[in-house]
Amino acid sequence: MHTPMPLLPRTPNVAVVGATGAVGREMLRVLEDRAFPIGRLRLFASARSAGADLPFCGTRVPVVALPAEPDRAVFEDTDLVLLAVSADLSRTLVPLARSAGAVVVDNSSAFRQDPACPLVIPEVNGAVLDALAGPAIIANPNCSTIIALVAVTPIHRAAGIERMVVSTYQAVSGAGAEAMAELESQARDFAAGRAITPQVFRTQCLFNVFSHDSTIGPDGLNEEERKLLLETRRIWDDPAVRIAATCVRVPVLRAHSEAINLTLRRPMLADEARDLLARSPGVRVVDDRAQNRFPEPIHASGADDVLVGRVREDRSQPHGLGLDLFVSGDQLRKGAALNAVQIAEWLAAGGQAAGDQDAGGTEAATTAATPPSARRAAAR
């Protein structure tokens, strides 16, 4: 059997670029929570953050301002670069990191459709990492795609998904730290009776629901909807799968939710799907019809698992060929930082990391609804 060589040393020198942002800060929490072994950690952000420092493993790490015209010296002696910046900045930095010999995991959309850069969700297609050699660039998929595919890929493997209709309910923090601060400040303004003035979004986000804030193409799809389509096809290596998406923002601080309707090639009933999901890595079934308790973003916030519930047959389709689900997943964590760190763990281990084979199981009806870590995360 072919055993891949680890692409990273046992204690890699790590750089997090965009460390002060919503994803970057979560990256530090995930690295710390998972005790990811690090030789030397360097944090980069813009000149706005010069002089700042961020907490990590009981100490504070200084944030270095990235030069206006960075060169490869920035990544000298760095094994792993975790990028959490805009797509434009990623396009500038990736060639520099590559020429310095570093492995890059990029959270932006810049390289997601580049055939030379694998687009990876470890629970779904992590095995493609085993074929990599040298200073590889790995693209982290879009957050809505990750959350949907962690939930539905086990069903796809067992019954073949022919068509998927996704309606998203996306948290404001998907648009970054400033957007999260905007919802908080609008709540304070409302409580104080002050006028609400949108700045990050084009419209008020408090008490409102609006179409996703990305560009709309000539076909009427916004960028988020297009990413769900193109990235799912690439990750499943299935250019025929049909996907219809409607992506919307809701006034939630963090964790995206998605209503998903599936058309299957082979029949699968709801009970079978629920049992399968309870055994699937990265998934926690929350499906308590008696208590009307199902996935909620506030319970997904800060959690590693994608919560899946409302599992039911879609009786508008031929018997057994239609399923409905509702999922909530923390898009800063599994939708970005955690997925990136899991990729790094896979590369460091030279194969799948043991913890990532664990299924979240089915949440007992008696389990406290919100674990303390989720309550802390929801408030951050």
Inter-residue contact 302 to 354 (CB < 8 Å): no
Other beta carbons within 10 angstroms of residue 137's beta carbon come to: 23
Neighbours of 196 (CB within 10 A): 16
Rounded to a whole number of angstroms, the minimum distance from the CB of residue 85 to ligand NAP is 4
d(CA 11, CA 37): 5
Which residues are CB-contacts of 140 (< 8 A; sequence separation ≥ 6)?
A: 105, 106, 107, 120, 146, 336, 339, 340, 343
- In the three-class reduction of DSSP (H, G, I as helix; E, B as strand; rest coil), residue 151 is classed as helix
- 118: its two tokens: 């694998």
Among 78, 145, 168, 173, binds ligand NAP (CB under 6 A): 173
Distance CA 220, CA 133 (A): 39
Is the Cβ of residue 184 or residue 358 nearer to ligand NAP in the bound state? 184
Should residue 22 be labelled a site residue for ligand NAP when binding is judged by CB under 6 A? yes
Single-letter residue type at 334: K
Q: How far is the CB of 90 from ligand NAP (least distance, A)?
A: 7
49 binds ligand NAP (CB under 6 A): yes
- Least gap, CB of 177 to ligand NAP (angstroms): 4
Q: Which stretch binds ligand NAP (CB under 6 A): 13-21, 153-161, 257-265, 305-313?
A: 13-21
- Per-residue string for binding with ligand NAP, 333-352, x by CB under 6 A? --xx----------------
Contact call for residue 120 and ligand NAP (CB under 6 A): no
Tell the residue number behind the tokens 């990265």, with chain if given. Answer: 282
Closest to ligand NAP by CB, 247 or 311: 247
Nearest position to ligand NAP, beta carbon? 21
Who's near 367: CB < 8 A, 6+ residues apart?
none
Instruction: For residue 225, count CB atoms less than 10 angstroms from its CB and return exposed for 0-12, middle for 13-18, buried for 19 or more.
Output: buried
For the question of residue 117 being annotated catalytic, the response is no
Least distance from C-beta 266 to ligand NAP, angstroms? 33
Question: Read out DSSP for 168-222?
Answer: EEB-GGGG-HHHHHHHHHHHHHHHTTPPP--SSSSS--TT--EE-SS-B-TTS-B
Q: Considering only residues 13, 232, 280, 331, which one is a binding residue for ligand NAP as defined by CB under 6 A?
A: 331
- C-beta of 153 vs 173, nearer to ligand NAP: 173
Q: Scanning residues 83 to 102, which ones bind ligand NAP (CB under 6 A)?
A: 84-87, 89
Binder of ligand NAP out of 20, 125, 168, 222 (CB under 6 A): 20
Nearer to ligand NAP, 32 or 130 (CB): 32
Q: Which stretch binds ligand NAP (CB under 6 A): 42-50, 74-82, 156-164, 217-225?
A: 42-50
Indicate the residue type of 5.
M
Q: Please say if 143 is a catalytic residue.
A: yes
Q: Give the interface with ligand NAP as residue ranges (CB under 6 A).
A: 18-24, 44-46, 48-49, 66, 84-87, 89, 107-108, 143, 173-174, 176-178, 331-332, 335-336
Which residues form the catalytic set?
143, 256
